[in-house]
Amino acid sequence: MQLIKDKEFGGERPLFAAHDVHLDHVTIREGESAIKECSNIVATNCRFEGNYPFWHVHGFTIKDCYFDVGGRSALWYSDHLTMADTVIDAPKMFREMTDIDIRNVTINDADEVFWRCDRLDIRGLTLHGGTYPFMFSRNIRVDGLESDSKYVFQYVRDVEIRNARITTKDAFWEVENVTIYDSRLDGEYLGWHSKNLRLVRCHISGEQPLCYARDLVLEDCTFDPACDRAFEYSTLRADIRGAITNIKNPTSGRITADAIGSVTLDENIKAPADCVITTRRA
């Protein structure tokens, strides 16, 4: 493998079609497509300031690197990436990619990151700001996520999330086959129109959670007192620890809680309208 160390590159495609290259302490200055149509690339202790540096790259490692704001849309149409101990200040990262391994990465402008990606293994990710992370992605495994981005995990499939703290709005809409363990989910309109969404030992806050859901499962979950109008038009099995403030018009299934503030079953409830709602004290 060729070593390129302590160098600077700029302009258009300075390392186009490079293969079997280790970049160490390299700075990519203003320009476009610095590392395009490449394979077997290792970048360590590098700084990326130009647009679109890694497009159509097959097999690469990025470690201890920094992506400046100018390094936007840096990772598209590529596969077999390992990224570790890296900070990203640029938006629109990771698009149309497969086989992504993330370890201890911070993205400070998480606008439209991880779109249409497949097979992601993530351990230790922080997302700040932006909208719609993970849109249309699938086969995702996450352990350790801190996110305050809006509209996270929309239209995703086959996802497992552990140990997350997500503060958001309208998260997990139109998802399918998603399981979340040991996490805090804070945001309005959580999980609407989902299919096979399962929450295990999660704490849920925000208005009108988990409506229009199909085959929803909650196991040992807790609810913030501000949660109301939960489960409207949902089919579910829910085991709730502690109290839930209000349940509204669930379609079918069973809900058990330690305490229930109120239940709304009105003329708008949808058939079969046979959800069993009980408290453990009953």
Q: Which residue has the higher pLDDT, 121 or 50?
A: 121
- In 170-215, at which residue ranges do the beta strands (DSSP E only) sit? 176-181, 184-188, 195-200, 203-205
Q: What share of the chain is helix, strand, coil (3-state, %, to 5)?
A: 0, 55, 45
For residues 87-98, average pLDDT? 96
Q: What would be the CATH architecture of the domain defined by 59-279?
A: 3 Solenoid (2.160)
> C-alpha distances in angstroms, 243 versus 22, 117, 228, 238, 278?
56, 38, 11, 12, 12
| Unique residue bearing structure tokens 């990224």 | 83
Q: Which helix (H) or strand (E) holds 219?
A: strand 216-223
Helix, strand or coil, per DSSP, at residue 135: coil
Identify whether the C-beta of residue 118 lies closer than 8 Å to the C-beta of residue 96: no
Per-residue model confidence (pLDDT) at position 280: 86
For residues 66-94, average pLDDT? 95
| Token couple for 10 | 């700029």
For residues 56-66, average pLDDT? 97
Per-residue model confidence (pLDDT) at position 138: 98
Per residue in 13-33, pLDDT (tens digit) is 999 999 999 999 999 998 889
> C-alpha distances in angstroms, 159 versus 93, 193, 228?
20, 16, 26
Per-residue model confidence (pLDDT) at position 72: 85
Per residue in 114-140, pLDDT (tens digit) is 999 999 999 999 999 999 999 999 999
Average pLDDT, the chain: 95
Domain boundaries, the chain: 59-279
| Token couple for 29 | 């200055």
* First-residue to last-residue Cα distance in the chain: 70
In single-letter form, the type of residue at position 3 comes to L
Nearest partner of 213 among 204, 149, 111, 141, judged by Cα: 204
Distance of alpha carbon 173 from alpha carbon 164, whole angstroms: 17
Nearest partner of 133 among 119, 145, 149, judged by Cα: 149
Check pLDDT > 80 for residue 281.
Answer: no
Distance of alpha carbon 95 from alpha carbon 56, whole angstroms: 11
Q: What is the dihedral of CA 120, 123, 124, 125, to 10 degrees?
A: 10
Check pLDDT > 60 for residue 282.
Answer: no
- In 89-155, at which residue ranges do the beta strands (DSSP E only) sit? 98-107, 118-127, 138-147
